[in-house]
A and B are shown apart, each in its own frame.
Chain A
Amino acid sequence: MIETKEIRVDYGDVHAVADLTVSIPTGEVYGLIGPNGAGKTSLIRVLATLLKPTYGDARIANIDVVEEPARVRRLLGYMPDLAPVYEDLRCWEFLDLFGAAYFVSRRERRRRIDACIDQVGLQSKRQAIAGTLSLGMKQRLVLAKTLLPDPEVLLLDEPASGLDPMARIDMRNMIRDLAHSGKTILISSHILNELSEFCGSIGIMEKGRLILSGRIDEILASLSHKKRIVVETLDPAARAAEVLSGLDGVSSCKAEALRVEFDLDGDESDVAELLRSLVDRGIRIKAFYERQQGVEDIFLQIGAKEVS
């Protein structure tokens, strides 16, 4: 659905995006990760037809975003970071403006405005002046505006930036619902935990380059064959760590108070065998589990931190 080939975006002498190639299939939720200044916003603005790439191809639904921006725009919903709103319009007027601008008939518009307001949880603010809303509510309003024309592709640039923890959770839940609706979503963020829950694939950007891209599970598998095991004990964990360090396949053992965490190079039967060994040696175990690695682990292992 979304394809870029050797996209480059330059601002004077600065390469904001450098030779970036990525392909996002239909229905995929793709998270774009990177520190501030990595080129995420520039890439999204190119895809949104708001910025011409210096070089390279970008296509959405096989339509060239540079050559046929008008056709591409019909497929797109774009939400910029720190999403601005018309401060002097009421919430429903703001949505009505864009419904009309997307040629939605009046009757249908009314229905969709209600649906979108419900979807983002702004029912009580329908008549409120947009300028009086909190930042989180403004973000929701812009998300509602983005969803109103029912676009096939959503480009969400830092949708949760600047939000307090509660608003961030709400926004995450809303995007997770959208992800389940089958839309193709490209979402950028530098807050890693946000993306773990609903992204099928991720791309990590650094200095304008895409240094890693693919499905999260495949990336994790390629990065490490080891399992990260956590053991919680009733006695001080030092004893458990001592036992573990003498076992085959165990490495990076880290004990703190009543908890010990380590890598195990082995399969499921090796995990079971290890548990039996601990119990046999008198370690009183409260919990024993494999910790699922996430986007944060990938990011930390890749070590991307430089801006362009």
Chain B
Amino acid sequence: MTWPRLDTSMLVNPIWLKSARARLRWKHVISWGTVTVSLTAFVFMIIYMNMIEHGDVTAATAAKATIPGIVVVQATILMVLGTGAVASGIAQERDDRLIDYQRLTPMSPTSKILGYLFGLPVREYFLFALTLPFLAVAVAISGFSLFTLAHFYVVFFTSVWVYHLTGLVAGMLSTRPRFASMLSMGFVLVLYFALPNLSRIGITYFEFLTIRPTFFGLLQQELPQRVGDSAPVLAGIDTFRDVPFFNLFLHPTVYTLLVQGFLLCVMFVVVHRKWRNQNNHALSKIQALAVYSGVLAFALASVWPIIADAGVRQQVFGALERRGPGMHPTESLFILLLVLFMIVGAAFFVVILGVTPSRHTAIEGLRRAHKHGRRRVRPNSDAASSLPLTIVMLGLTFVALVTPLRLAQHSGMFFIDPPSLMSTLSFIVLLGAIALFMQGFRERCGLRVFLITIFLLWIVPWFAMTIMFSAQNAWIAGAYVGLPCPPVAAWIAIGTILESATPVPGRSPEYLIPELVQSRHALLTTSLVLYGTLAAGMQFELWRWKRRAHASVRLATLPLTER
């Protein structure tokens, strides 16, 4: 009897194997390998020898001190070079239309994604492996805790995969592949360098998208004191503490894995959908709702303990208070609400932009529905209107923005008398109007028209307002000019909410510029009228267009290019 032989070739991902063959030829291995080994050896030796010769420390301590240096080399290889290899590799394949070949093969989209994710940076993984002997020597000499090291590399690799998936997403999303690398770099800059700064005012989760907290926190615990001394200067070690998450305190590694896991899942879903069909939206309606809920949950989880726990608030706003003449608690609440609005608003904007169908998609969906004998498109399909999703998201947004106010009210640390119901309702109506206008406009008009109008309606007034404020001190006129910009309207609305409350005793809190306090109701009313009119007009126009489209598709006479 003969046993069937296992065909091991089926176990190796063909796309990974293709990359391995192409990027790991001897000439690459030798040239890149020589550079990497030389560089790592240099880093290891310069730290080790200097500490031995001039540092008056033991060999174990000197070897321990080399570990951060080796990690920096590894991070450069995998995070910088690796991400570049992924973004440019996938963009190149799209540019050359080689990706069409891969689309047509019967491999599952998941296999293809994994093939590219681990295949495109295969040379960088190989170079990373070349640094491991140096790490092994350092660990062997120093007796560095293997548990700590393993703990660190878990976070290190999840960060690497987040970076690489970012490159893959940029490569798949970009309609012009040559921009993919720029888009990828933009994502990386925003996600890993700009947004982490929000941790300074309590929005901690962006900080944990990077390995900085783990790198400075976890590794430094094991390092000799002299090396560890430099860490606070790098302003990262203080973030490696249990992270407040609603009423809980999560271990930083758990929190990092939670945040990065969330992002990995989102990006994987996006790439998966794009693999199945390049014309698919990045997310389905339900997936978009889940992602938006996740962003709200993380944002609220960060804000919650700052409001509910005076100790946490002191930790976050203490630095600001030390710099100024003392901050009233309601002023910190004001800043938190504004930041929360900005994060939620940005997420809302991106989601609506991403899942609202163009007119072409909407009509295609209608035609397809008619072809299958249905009168309407399926609610979760890309062609379905994003209005129901917008309404559900608005509901969640109201909860996310009103919850901190209610929490502040119940904590007793902010108000004697709570904000008026009318001012809170005005804020809610304003948000609803802005969202419905944005959704209606996006669905009715093309992306280009939408973005240009948004620029003219939101950004230009903000520019004008800034000039009027700074150059002419024209506060009231400037505020009216800037009202179409949603953050300005939100600033006035949130300021009005807090002005309507009676704060706890202390320094008189200031939310709005003093000159605007008297005009706040008129400003709020103006913004309500402006966005109420825009939202009603745009939704009415959208409704009319949909009726026409339905009728035309039924009669099969509507040319797709009807404008």
A98 CB contact (under 8 Å) in B8, B10, B25, B101: B101
Are B106 and A97 neighbours in the complex by a CB distance under 8 Å? no
Q: CB of B222 within 8 A of chain A?
A: no
Q: Which residues of A contact B8 (CB under 8 A)?
A: 106
- Mostly, the B contact residues are helix
Are A78 and B100 neighbours in the complex by a CB distance under 8 Å? yes
Are B22 and A89 neighbours in the complex by a CB distance under 8 Å? yes
Q: CB of A287 within 8 A of chain B?
A: no
Q: Which residues of B contact A289 (CB under 8 A)?
A: none
- B12-20, B211-219, B414-422, B511-519: which lies at the interface: B12-20
Are B104 and A100 neighbours in the complex by a CB distance under 8 Å? no
Q: CB of B98 within 8 A of chain A?
A: yes
A54-B364, A84-B98, A105-B9 known; A74 and B106 CB under 8 Å?
Answer: yes
Are B101 and A73 neighbours in the complex by a CB distance under 8 Å? no
Q: Which residues of B contact A73 (CB under 8 A)?
A: 104-106
Are A105 and B7 neighbours in the complex by a CB distance under 8 Å? yes
Are A106 and B7 neighbours in the complex by a CB distance under 8 Å? yes
Are A54 and B560 neighbours in the complex by a CB distance under 8 Å? yes
Q: CB of A48 within 8 A of chain B?
A: yes
Q: CB of A10 within 8 A of chain B?
A: yes
Are B18 and A86 neighbours in the complex by a CB distance under 8 Å? yes
Are A103 and B106 neighbours in the complex by a CB distance under 8 Å? yes
Q: CB of A303 within 8 A of chain B?
A: no
A52-B364, A105-B10 known; A89 and B18 CB under 8 Å?
Answer: yes
Are A97 and B364 neighbours in the complex by a CB distance under 8 Å? no
Question: In chain B between 357 and 376, which residues have their CB closer than 8 angstroms to a CB of chain A?
Answer: 360, 364, 367-368, 371
Q: CB of A76 within 8 A of chain B?
A: yes
The range of chain B's interface size is: 20 to 34
The range of chain A's interface size is: 35 or more
Q: CB of B277 within 8 A of chain A?
A: yes
Complex-state Cα separation, A8 to B106, whole angstroms: 27
Which residue of chain A has its CB nearest to the CB of B558?
A: A55
Provide the A158-183 mask, 1 if CB < 8 A to any CB of B, else 0.
00000000000000000000000000
Q: CB of A300 within 8 A of chain B?
A: no
Q: Which residues of B contact A49 (CB under 8 A)?
A: 103-104
Which residue of chain B has its CB nearest to the CB of A85?
A: B98
B103 CB contact (under 8 Å) in A12, A50, A97, A100: A50
Are B18 and A93 neighbours in the complex by a CB distance under 8 Å? yes
Q: CB of B561 within 8 A of chain A?
A: yes
Taking the nearest CB of chain A, how far is it from the CB of B71, in angstroms? 31
Complex-state Cα separation, A178 to B391, whole angstroms: 57
Q: CB of B97 within 8 A of chain A?
A: yes
Are A86 and B560 neighbours in the complex by a CB distance under 8 Å? no
Are A101 and B14 neighbours in the complex by a CB distance under 8 Å? yes
Q: Which residues of B contact A54 (CB under 8 A)?
A: 360, 364, 560
A8-B560, A12-B561 known; A76 and B104 CB under 8 Å?
Answer: yes
Which residue of chain A has its CB nearest to the CB of B21?
A: A93
Taking the nearest CB of chain B, how far is it from the CB of A75, in angstroms? 11
Q: Which residues of B contact A106 (CB under 8 A)?
A: 7-9
Complex-state Cα separation, A54 to B553, whole angstroms: 13
A84 CB contact (under 8 Å) in B22, B96, B103, B104: B96
Q: CB of B107 within 8 A of chain A?
A: yes
Q: Which residues of A contact B101 (CB under 8 A)?
A: 98, 145
Q: Which residues of B contact A10 (CB under 8 A)?
A: 360, 560-561
Complex-state Cα separation, A90 to B107, whole angstroms: 22
Complex-state Cα separation, A86 to B367, whole angstroms: 39
Q: CB of B102 within 8 A of chain A?
A: yes
Provide the A50-91 mask, 1 if CB < 8 A to any CB of B, else 0.
101011010000000010011001101010100011101110
Q: CB of A273 within 8 A of chain B?
A: no
Q: Which residues of A contact B367 (CB under 8 A)?
A: 55
Are A80 and B364 neighbours in the complex by a CB distance under 8 Å? no
Complex-state Cα separation, A107 to B5, whole angstroms: 12
Which of A48, A55, A85, A106 has the most chain B CB atoms inside 10 A of its CB?
A: A55
Q: CB of B403 within 8 A of chain A?
A: no
Query: Would you list the 5 A-B pairs with minimal beta carbon distance, nearest first?
Result: A100-B14, A101-B105, A106-B9, A88-B22, A84-B96
Q: List 23 A-B contacts (CB under 8 A).
A: A10-B560, A12-B561, A48-B100, A49-B103, A50-B104, A52-B364, A54-B360, A73-B105, A74-B106, A78-B100, A84-B98, A88-B23, A89-B22, A90-B21, A97-B14, A98-B14, A98-B101, A98-B105, A100-B10, A100-B14, A105-B7, A106-B7, A107-B7
New A-B pairs, 17, CB < 8 Å, besides A73-B105, A74-B106:
A8-B560, A48-B104, A52-B364, A69-B277, A73-B104, A78-B100, A84-B97, A85-B98, A86-B98, A93-B22, A97-B15, A97-B17, A97-B18, A100-B10, A101-B15, A102-B106, A103-B10
